[in-house]
A and B are shown apart, each in its own frame.
Chain A
């Protein structure tokens, strides 16, 4: 991820998890969890357009997606963060511990 993509991801995660996400590292694991969150939620029709189907299980979404698609995905969730946070908020509570583990590298 480049600097802009990291910023996009961070803005979205701060909107979703609050200010504690400010200190989280924006890396491949964090991107993959965010991507998994979208798949799990299955409610954000706009976001689902970015999910390639079928995606092989166990594959890193970050590596699987073309750079351009990844950039569009991140830009979209940032620009529409309020709308997207609203549709993933409940599933995100069930994945909060995975985000925390990634944040603390444990």
Chain B
């Protein structure tokens, strides 16, 4: 009996340290299950989820404040897609692809380190710069664009990506 109890306790503690008991609800259609963090901080628009060696941040892409001097309202989805190499549309203003390209360079987005796929009707675009240990996940939904920034390795970015699920 004692042996059984010990085994049960060990199994339970192992389960607890690797469990995904926390869920971040992004919308009526999407959620992210994430491992238990060391701490969570919430600012006016940003959620910081911190672990011992890495962290991730969630914010809803704000077209008016992403750049303080440029309002991207109505162009936000195209802006994200352009950063990930989608083709320009003829009606774009001249400055717009240049801005997106410059931002893609700053984020370190290249064809080799980026991925695009869909979950339901949502587009997921990811990139990771291993040299800077920074990565980004953009989730384009019908009503909002989510930006998740990762301070960590590719492995940690993948951990979040694979736990984006439909609700």
Q: Which residues of A contact B (CB under 8 A)?
A: 15-18, 20, 23, 82, 85-86, 89-91, 93-94, 96-97, 100-101, 103-104, 106
Contact = CB atoms under 8 A, between A and B. Distances in A.
Contacts of A15: 68
B64 to A, nearest CB: 9
Given A85-B68, A106-B50, A97 B151 contact: yes
Contacts of B39: 106
Contact of A90 (B43, B46, B55, B105): B105
Contacts of A90: 99, 102-103, 105-106
B96 interface: no
A97 B68 CA distance: 16
B144 to A, nearest CB: 18
Q: What secondary structure prevails in chain B residues at the interface with A?
A: mixed
B45 A101 contact: no
Contacts of B55: 97, 101, 106
B68 A100 contact: no
A13 B128 CA distance: 26
Contacts of A82: 69
A79 B41 CA distance: 33
Given A18-B65, A91-B106, A104-B48, A97 B57 contact: yes
A99 to B, nearest CB: 10
A16 B69 CA distance: 8
B41 A97 contact: no
Contacts of A16: 68
B82 to A, nearest CB: 13
Given A18-B65, A97-B151, 20 more contacts: A15-B68, A17-B68, A20-B45, A23-B44, A86-B69, A89-B67, A89-B68, A90-B99, A90-B105, A90-B106, A94-B107, A94-B132, A97-B48, A97-B149, A100-B46, A100-B57, A101-B48, A103-B43, A104-B43, A104-B48
